[in-house]
Amino acid sequence: MSMKATSVRLDDETLERVGRMAEAMDRPRAWLMAHAIKTFIEQEEWFIQEVKQGIDAADKGRLMEHADVKAKWESKRATAVD
């Protein structure tokens, strides 16, 4: 995988926080910033895909009543606590 350099502007406080975190993780700041950006992109891509799937399902009439969704999540939460 090819790596290319880029620059990002951060306020002093954020840059200090990045530095402290990188030091705590025993990693270079550049590694931490690259890791953070990669993780953010992966999460956002997942979210966008899930929203698209939800819109597609809604467009096709595949919807659930709020009470059914709530019951499903409450059931999952109850089993996760056990």
> What is the DSSP track for 2-67?
----------HHHHHHHHHHHHHTT--HHHHHHHHHHHHHHHHHHHHHHHHHHHHHHHTT----HH
On whether residue 77 sits in a domain, the answer given is: yes
On whether residue 7 sits in a domain, the answer given is: no
Confidence (pTM): 0.73
On whether residue 76 sits in a domain, the answer given is: yes
Average pLDDT over every residue of 19-39 = 97
3-state secondary structure of 74: helix
Q: Are the beta carbons of 55 and 69 closer than 8 angstroms?
A: no
Domain that holds residue 49: 12-81
- The secondary element (H helix, E strand) that includes residue 75 is helix 66-81
Provide the domain count of the chain: 1
Query: What is the per-residue pLDDT across 38-81, written as a single tens digit (0 to 9) for each?
Result: 999 999 999 999 999 999 999 999 999 999 999 999 999 998 86
